[in-house]
Chains A and B, each alone.
Chain A
Amino acid sequence: MLGKLTLQAIPFDHPVPLFAGSFVVLVVLCVVVWIALKGYVPYLWREWITSVDHKRIGVMYVLLACLMMLRGFIDAIMMRSQQTFAFHAAGYLPPEHFDQIFSAHGTIMIFFAAMPFMIGLMNFAVPLQLGVRDVAFPTLNNTSFWLTCVGALLINLSLLVGEFARTGWIPYPPLSELTYSPGVGVDYYLWSLLISGVGTLLTGINFVTTILKIRAPGMSYTRMPMFCWTALASNLLIVAAFPILTATLAMLTLDRYLGFHFFSNEAGGNPMMFVNLIWAWGHPEVYILVLPAFGIFAEVISTFSNRPLFGYRSMVIATMAFVIVTYTVWLHHFFTMGAGADVNGIFGIATTIIGLITGVKVFNWLFTMYGGRIVFASPMLWSIGFLVTFCIGGVTGMLLAVPPADFLVHNSTFLVAHFHNVIIGGVIFAGFAGLTYWFPKAFGFRLDEGWGKAAFWLTLIGFYVVFVPLYITGLQGMPRRMQHYDFALWHPWIVAAAFGIVLLFCAMVCQVIQLRVSIRHRDELRDDTGDPWNGRSLEWATASPAPAFNFAVLPRVHGAEPYWEIKRRAIETQQTAEPQYEPIELSRNSPVGVITAFFAFFVGFAMIWHIWWMAILGVVGAYAAFVWFAWRDVEDYTISAAEVAQLDRARRRVHEEWLTQHARELA
């Protein structure tokens, strides 16, 4: 009846996961009960869970990312502390548990922290920057989000029911085949990524369509803000790369469930085929993450330098070049395969081209600061921290691109330090920069600067204290993923890295306090103008928080920095004409996304535990929800012109005050 699922699946003999899992369940239960008692359930259901508003979906993505980052960070703390204690000793985590932790850390951080963070910020900001009301397929957007949540839920469920993969975050066969990983861990990995991968692909399609087809009148391609360009590039990569991931994982799934031999040792299978395929997705994935980050930095650096972006066209060319070049370098992830000098040489040189186009971008950011009037608000601090840190990550990346150098440090903690260097220094810094930058647009008040800056400095210093030692142990020959070791030279550095983790923990505490303090002082931090940073693109042209329809009247775009020009013109002419309001049509909220995801969860769970009847029910349920939605007969709802005018009046009043103030300054 329940397939492989029995009470033995609960790890009663493993105190660490049992305690951690029970604690999480307890916390979740408390939150749910609190919400229910306060009577917030109908509000949450109506306004958030079923919302098709891209801004709310974006906020939920970022929330998911922050929660999962917390989970991944706890894994990181466990890994660092285990290695600190496991010198000439067994440590406190047995290998079968330690191996799950580093696998879960990688999977969660990439798929459920970094990805949702970037996708969330794209969701929130791209339609606003394009000057439109929503994405192309609003309901699909909601579905994507909930499918991503299912993946995250399945992975976290593995803490308490069964186990997670012990193969690393990229499950190389034959280790991930049934012969060598008979437990359900790899199945948890496969099904959570197969399901969330569908969500990600739908997001990609949604955003490519939105950016290519729906923009404010007058916004030609070369007038799009840089973040929209990088979002376009990133989503094009999603559309092209995620099917590779899904197909590869599906083949591994067939191997494990139906005895196929795609990647097995026997019957003509070839594990290296998996390695090639997965990196054909895996390298573009790096740029799926880092391109939106580049876009955020372009916006932030330009805004806080009070200058337009330098070398816009170069930036666009470099961004789009990534989309192509990134598909030509996958082999540098396994130079040590022994493919031969010509192959390694060609892929090494292709990799340096990535360095070239990244270099162009760095120079353009640099010269955006040149001649600016730089305000060191916390988003700008994250950006400068990024420029320095990312450059260092670039140096080590270029070393890894040289095959003979890679032969010395591949799969060592040097490699680990390198990719954390670019992913933390690039993506996570961008996430926090973007979060601080767009927070007032989402909630109507700014985040507290003092705690934000404390978090920045602690993160920056903590990052170096963790990863410089790991660079060094890598050069001393320490492989990644060691559960214990006896090599005396590594130990002091590993202890130093553990100290860095303490700093990062303090940084995280600062972020939490920052949120609390900002909410408490929200009246002082209120953003009345809708333009808290003296911004240049269209998201600042509307009120904070942005209304459901984004813009009372769709803006007309005449240049690359539309809002900057609107402001200039308004100051010169000293007038803002009363716009011609028109009724606005918006999509209705829909529960189809969450219902589909509900059934998808049972498909995943049932497949992991071989509960075939439940899997069939899940597929039927998800399909029925989709068909029901496709045959629905509901009109979109309309906000009348009078209502729009009334909602927009407050913003216009503040605007006129702002104008007279500036008139006085000019005089």
Chain B
Amino acid sequence: MRYMSGCFCAPPVAFLASKCLQLLPIITIPTALLALLAGCSGGVLDPQGPIGAADNKILFNALGIVLAIVGPTIVAVLIFAWWFRASNTRARYLPDWVFSGRIELLSWGIPLLIIVFLGGVIWVGAHQLDPYRPIASQNKSINVQVVSLDWKWLFIYPDHGIASVNELVVPAGVPVHFSLTSASVMNMFFVPQLGSMIMTMNGMVTQLYLQADQAGDFYGESTQYSGEGFSGMNFVLRAVPQDEFERWVAAARQSGPELDRASYIAVSQQSQNVRPFTYRVVDPNLFDEIVTRRIPPGPGPQAGRGGPSVHPRAEH
């Protein structure tokens, strides 16, 4: 009797199924509640653009697929543990039962089915939401070159010949094509409400397309720890109507310093919690020179090199 068939467990399974249905709200309600709590809050579950919305759809599809199996499994763990407690005389005892072909089939088959579904979501999702894939739109996309500095963000508008630090103004409803690199260490560019984050690396360019559907201010940040000033490396992405964007560009052209090689090297020194400002004119080759390292990478901290100081601090 070492190997029994699985059929004898039908009544308990029916019992379990009914219990599962009763317990299902216990699992689903908190999950839904969590989603609500996090969702109405300006986080990633409150998307304001097509990429964020599509990322979210994939997230919830995947969650649904996985919960379909894991939810009942958790319930079954609790029910099995309770029902087969040593003091329960109604529960049957199977001291030698070690194999059941049917259960083996299920325990390999169900997860396999789930990963087939999930694999499909992954493959399709990875392609549809490849950050390098342009957003289909009637509007022509605008270009923004992003350079992560220690510890602030430099945004260059090559189409408009201006640049800004820690402030990103874009027209609402228009796709934005970002080309991103880093002046020194790695960072990660992320506007939670618009979706998909991407890394910035020195000597390399990554691409990202985002769009804000409506006007609004969105919090932007780095999600890759990059040193002492990391926590202050935030910016506001202001999505504004097209005419206001043009007014902003015109205003930026009127004031502020020039961004050339020398002023870039000055701004790429380490500094923290930098207030937003704009450059009225930009050297058109600057981004290429940063990427190809014709301008050397950011210098790092000035203190602590060679000497005895082992607690180097960046200049605040």
Instruction: Looking at the assembled complex, report how far the CB atom of A274 sits from the nearest CB atom of chain B, in whole angstroms.
Output: 10
Contact check, B70 vs A391: say whether CB atoms are below 8 A apart: yes
By a CB distance below 8 angstroms, the chain A residues around B45 are: 475
Contact check, B231 vs A482: say whether CB atoms are below 8 A apart: yes
Contact of A487 among B54, B199, B219, B232 (CB under 8 A): B219
State whether A483 and B125 are in contact (beta carbons under 8 Å apart), knowing that A6-B308, A472-B38 are contacts in the complex: no
Stretch at the interface among A250-258, A339-347, A611-619, A635-643: A339-347
Q: How far is the CA of A310 from the CA of B226 in the complex (A)?
A: 48
Instruction: Looking at the assembled complex, report how far the CB atom of B191 sits from the nearest CB atom of chain A, in whole angstroms.
Output: 9
State whether A477 and B293 are in contact (beta carbons under 8 Å apart), knowing that A163-B311, A265-B184, A336-B199 are contacts in the complex: no
| A314 is an interface residue with CB less than 8 A from chain B | yes
* Per-residue B-contact encoding for A347-372, CB less than 8 Å = 1, 0 else: 01100110110011011101101111
CB contacts under 8 Å to A, within B46-98, are 52, 54-56, 58-59, 62-63, 66-67, 69-70, 73-74, 76-78, 80-81, 84-86, 91-98
Contact check, B203 vs A480: say whether CB atoms are below 8 A apart: no
Q: How far is the CA of A340 from the CA of B127 in the complex (A)?
A: 8
Contact of B84 among A310, A341, A371, A483 (CB under 8 A): A371
Number of B residues with CB within 8 Å of any CB on chain A: 115
By a CB distance below 8 angstroms, the chain A residues around B296 are: 266
| A593 is an interface residue with CB less than 8 A from chain B | no
Size band of the A side of the interface?
35 or more
Q: How far is the CA of A392 from the CA of B227 in the complex (A)?
A: 32
Q: How far is the CA of A162 from the CA of B108 in the complex (A)?
A: 53
Contact check, B111 vs A409: say whether CB atoms are below 8 A apart: no
Q: Which residue of A lies closest to B43 (CB)?
A: A476
CB contacts under 8 Å to A, within B233-251, are 234
| A240 is an interface residue with CB less than 8 A from chain B | no
State whether A402 and B118 are in contact (beta carbons under 8 Å apart), knowing that A166-B227, A266-B297, A395-B66 are contacts in the complex: yes
| Chain B CB within 10 A, most for which of A266, A344, A345, A371 | A371
| Chain B CB within 10 A, most for which of A172, A305, A336, A412 | A336
Contact check, B76 vs A340: say whether CB atoms are below 8 A apart: no
By a CB distance below 8 angstroms, the chain A residues around B103 are: 310-311, 363, 367
Stretch at the interface among A44-52, A142-150, A373-381, A650-658: A373-381
Contact check, B81 vs A403: say whether CB atoms are below 8 A apart: no
Instruction: Looking at the assembled complex, report how far the CB atom of B151 sits from the nearest CB atom of chain A, in whole angstroms.
Output: 10
Contact check, B107 vs A265: say whether CB atoms are below 8 A apart: no
Contact check, B125 vs A371: say whether CB atoms are below 8 A apart: no
Q: Which residue of A lies closest to B46 (CB)?
A: A476
Stretch at the interface among A173-181, A202-210, A230-238, A435-443: A173-181
Instruction: Looking at the assembled complex, report how far the CB atom of B189 sits from the nearest CB atom of chain A, in whole angstroms.
Output: 9
Q: How far is the CA of A375 from the CA of B185 in the complex (A)?
A: 54
Instruction: Looking at the assembled complex, report how far the CB atom of B112 sits from the nearest CB atom of chain A, in whole angstroms.
Output: 6
Contact check, B111 vs A355: say whether CB atoms are below 8 A apart: yes
Contact check, B58 vs A391: say whether CB atoms are below 8 A apart: no
Q: How far is the CA of A266 from the CA of B299 in the complex (A)?
A: 12
CB contacts under 8 Å to A, within B99-116, are 99-100, 103-104, 106-108, 110-112, 114-115
Contact check, A375 vs B96: say whether CB atoms are below 8 A apart: no
Q: How far is the CA of A281 from the CA of B186 in the complex (A)?
A: 21
Contact check, A477 vs B43: say whether CB atoms are below 8 A apart: yes
Contact check, B118 vs A310: say whether CB atoms are below 8 A apart: no
* 11 other A-B residue contacts (CB within 8 Å) besides A172-B224, A348-B123, A363-B103: A96-B311, A172-B185, A174-B184, A266-B296, A337-B199, A356-B112, A391-B73, A394-B70, A408-B44, A475-B34, A476-B43
What are 25 A-B residue pairs whose CB atoms fall within 8 Å in the complex?
Answer: A4-B310, A9-B310, A13-B311, A99-B228, A175-B185, A179-B299, A180-B227, A180-B301, A182-B301, A310-B98, A337-B201, A348-B123, A349-B122, A352-B115, A355-B115, A363-B73, A370-B80, A371-B94, A372-B93, A373-B86, A373-B93, A391-B77, A405-B59, A410-B223, A480-B223
A contacts, CB < 8 Å to B: 4, 6, 8-9, 11, 13-14, 95-96, 99, 162-163, 166-168, 172, 174-175, 179-184, 265-266, 271-272, 305-312, 314, 334, 336-338, 340-342, 344-345, 348-349, 352-353, 355-356, 359-360, 362-364, 366-367, 369-376, 384, 387-388, 391-392, 394-395, 398-399, 401-405, 407-412, 468, 471-472, 475-477, 479-487, 489
7 closest A-B pairs by CB: A477-B192, A371-B94, A476-B43, A359-B111, A363-B107, A475-B38, A345-B126
B contacts, CB < 8 Å to A: 9, 12, 34, 37-39, 41-45, 52, 54-56, 58-59, 62-63, 66-67, 69-70, 73-74, 76-78, 80-81, 84-86, 91-100, 103-104, 106-108, 110-112, 114-115, 118-119, 121-123, 125-133, 184-186, 188, 190, 192-193, 195-199, 201-204, 206-208, 219, 221-232, 234, 293, 296-297, 299-301, 304-306, 308-313
